[in-house]
Amino acid sequence: MTLGLLSAWSLVTFTGFLLWFIPRGQKVGHGFLFWGLTRHGWGDIHFIISLVAFSLTVIHIILYWRSLSQLVRYLITVHTPLKLRS
C-alpha cells in the first residue's frame, strides 16, 4: 500500500512538473509532443493518476485509522505543556 502511494504521488509530481515545463499557448498544446503526447494528453494522464493517488490515500487512512488516532493521541499527551493538561 505504501509503495503504491509513493509511486502514485511520485507520478503525479512528475506529470505536474512536465505540465509546468511544456510550453503554453493557443497552438502549442496541440502540436508540441513530449514522448508522443501533447500538453492536453499529459493533463489527462495527470488527472487520472491524481484520482488514483487520492483514492489510495483515502483507503490508506481508512485501513490505518486506529494507528493514526493512537499516534495523534500520543503526540497530544506527550507534547502538551503540563499547565494545559490539568
Start-to-end C-alpha separation, the chain: 40
Predicted TM-score of the model (pTM): 0.71
pLDDT at 60 over 90: yes
Cα Rg of the chain, angstroms: 20
Contact partners, residue 43, CB within 8 Å, separation at least 6: 19
Contact 12, 43 (CB under 8 A): no
Give 42 or 51, the one with higher predicted confidence.
51
The CA distance from 39 to 56, in Å, is: 26
**Nearest-angstrom CA–CA distance, 58 and 62:** 6
The pLDDT of residue 50 is above 80: yes
